[in-house]
Amino acid sequence: MPHQKGPEIIAHRGASRERPENTLAAFLRAAELGADAVELDVHRTADGVLVVHHDPVLDDVPGSSLSGRAISSLTAEELRAFRIRGEPIPTLEEVLESVGGQLIVYCELKGEATAAPAVTMLEDSRWRAAVHAFDHRQVAEARRLASRLPRGILETSYHLDPTAAMASVEARDLWQQWETIDQPLVDAVHARGGRVVAWTANAPSAMERFAAMGVDALCTDDVPLARRVLGR
């Protein structure tokens, strides 16, 4: 594989500016645009299937009887009838089968009790994958169940010791809100052997600054812009 120039480019919920976010269309488009990876969110249905969607309840779609229903209250079969601008809600398994052979899949454990079923699928040697979450208890559960699967924690705050929470769950990645990233934070994480992922980085000036700092990955809504800024 040729040496990658600059940070890894992660398509936030797929190519979310061109296709409905968190759909197979968005993930396939991200691959076409040259992303290195995709980021997605998972929830668990009433019958235990992991599906890819950001919010715990379905969007308000005119004419749909499922609008506003909690994903956890619906079966996977019931969800198949729902459409987001014409696109169905995919299962995590469907996303892995579609793009997991091309792209790294970063799975945010968004819904309750998603760690166990997610790591069961993601630790398959066919995929390059990792998990992350705001709820660090889910990351700890992922560590317990699959210690070799890379883990990350999501943060919006700038902690006095930015690596302490990482150490508590043996996380590899710190997903830090882009506005709060500076050189001391990057240096501290790197000194611990970790990686910094900037989310969600959409401004060219920020992308350039992060690349100069040595940030390891940019989670972005604009893959083509990131490729241009990084000189890909």
| Continuous segment of H or E residues that includes residue 228 | helix 223-229
Write down the domain spans for the chain.
Answer: 8-43+102-229
Please tell me the distance from the alpha carbon of residue 88 to that of residue 80, in angstroms, as a whole number.
Answer: 7
Q: Which tokens hold the place of 53?
A: 């969607």
The correct CATH number of 8-43+102-229 out of 1.10.30.50, 3.30.200.20, 3.90.1150.10, 3.20.20.190 is: 3.20.20.190
φ, ψ (nearest 5 deg) of residue 45: -80, 175
Q: Which tokens hold the place of 43?
A: 């929830």
pTM: predicted TM-score of the whole model, two decimal places? 0.96
> Considering the chain, what is the average pLDDT of its residues?
96
Model confidence pLDDT, tens digit, residues 24-55:
999 999 999 999 999 999 999 999 999 999 99
Q: Which amino acid is at 84?
A: I
